[in-house]
Structure 1
Amino acid sequence: MKQHILPAIKLTLVCIVVFMVAYPLLIWIAAQAAPARGRGETVVSQNKTVGYRLEGQSFTRDNYFQGRPSAAGYNAAGSTGSNKGPSNPDYLKEVNARIDSFLAHNPGIERADIPSELVTASGSGLDPHISPQAAMVQVKRVAAYRHISEERLKQLVQQYTESPFLGVLGTSVVNVLPLNLALDQLK
């Protein structure tokens, strides 16, 4: 029995040191190299904090680009997906309602042209990004409400399109909050 207890105690002590001291210290050191030293990146406009760079925001007015729907109501404290699968009738009803709403606010867009991220919530419910295609499909509506040329808005979307990490990891994305703040700065 002694031959089993002593190794178990040693393993427990090693795990405590590794997982409660060394690993958190390593993560903290890595966070110090990150923007804002790991505290999150706030977005400031006119000396006022308007949101966080890595947290989705709700934009419902037609003169703004809209991001992904949120199952959590854009509440970071309740970050979660809906846990409803694509065969769930309630989920399908919700997605179809989002599609109908999108089509009503974006005349001339075909149902098949709506990128999925505009009608389905992300796993966290807080995704701040959409694809460049999801932004481009909204250009006509935003241009009409803002009385700005579609070409100028397409350039703005391209300007705010972020490339994949290291050029190969992930896909190109557009962060909706900085895009909409830049939109407000246009004359």
Structure 2
Amino acid sequence: MASARSTFRSTGVAIRLTLLSTVVLGIAYPLAVWGVGQAAFHDQANGSMVTDSSGKVVGSSLIGQSFDGSSAARWFQSRPSAAGEKGYDANASSGSNLGPNNPDLVKAIRERQQAIAKADGVPASQVPADAVTASGSGLDPDISPEYALQQVSRVASARGMSESAVRTLVDEHTEARQLGFLGEPVVNVLELNLALAKAS
């Protein structure tokens, strides 16, 4: 009898602890984190969405996207993507998973190098590495300042703008190393293209 009472009491304690843990860790804590995120970091908590001049959401500053099609020459190009069938798929984030000596990867890099060199009017040997290789996630929204500056002449010509005006936009959208020493300077392609559209 005493043993049954003790078991019943232990079961009751376990149920109460389970309910308390569910309320605190499954409801209260997530709501608190969500609330702080919305209050203090609203843009970041909602995906760092970027809008155009009309207020329409055109992408996220954290996820790369393609600027191809018939008007591709008018836009700064992102680095290649192996995420998903068409690239830049946030639901299929990944690299190519091909080793540096893989014949398919070597061939793809050479083809990209030749195409970019022709489009931007530079020798193939001057095409930066980030112009021809995908990032590990396939979603990198940034390119190197070197790759951005290489594209200035093409973009300026396609838009009828002066190269100095386009170069100024690149300079304005070049982000320095984090804390002055972490990583490398980068240019966010989506934000640069939005500034370009606004200026031209």
- Take 1:169 and 1:67, find their aligned partners in 2: how far apart are those partners? 22
Q: Secondary structure at the match of 1:62?
A: helix
Name segments (4+ residues, structure 1) moved above 6 Å: 24-30
2:92 counterpart letter in structure 1: G
Structure 1, unmatched stretches of 5+, are 1-16
CA shift for structure 1 position 103? 1.7
- Take 2:137 and 2:36, find their aligned partners in 1: how far apart are those partners? 23
Q: Specify which of 109, 117, 120 is matched with residue 103 of structure 1.
A: 117
Question: TM-score with structure 1 length normalisation?
Answer: 0.81
Pair 1:57 & 2:33 matched = no
Pair 1:67 & 2:81 matched = no
CA distance 1:52–1:37, change in 2 (3 Å): closer
Question: TM-score with structure 2 length normalisation?
Answer: 0.76
- Take 1:86 and 1:37, find their aligned partners in 2: how far apart are those partners? 35
Residue deviations 1:75-117 (CA, integer Å, cap 9, x gap): 100010010011000111111111111122122x011211100
Q: Residue in 2 aligned with 1:81?
A: 95
Q: Residue in 1 aligned with 2:48?
A: 41
> Larger radius of gyration, structure 1 or 2?
2
Structure 2, unmatched stretches of 5+, are 1-20
Q: Secondary structure at the match of 2:157?
A: helix
Residue deviations 1:17-67 (CA, integer Å, cap 9, x gap): 9xxx5xx86986885644525231101111211000100010120110001
1:117 counterpart letter in structure 2: D
- Take 2:59 and 2:143, find their aligned partners in 1: how far apart are those partners? 17
Following superposition of structure 1 onto structure 2, how do residues 79-158 of structure 1 map, counting pairs within 5 Å? 79-107=93-121, 109-158=122-171
2:80 counterpart letter in structure 1: P
- Take 1:111 and 1:81, find their aligned partners in 2: how far apart are those partners? 23
Share of identical aligned residues, percent? 45
Q: Residue in 1 aligned with 2:172?
A: 159
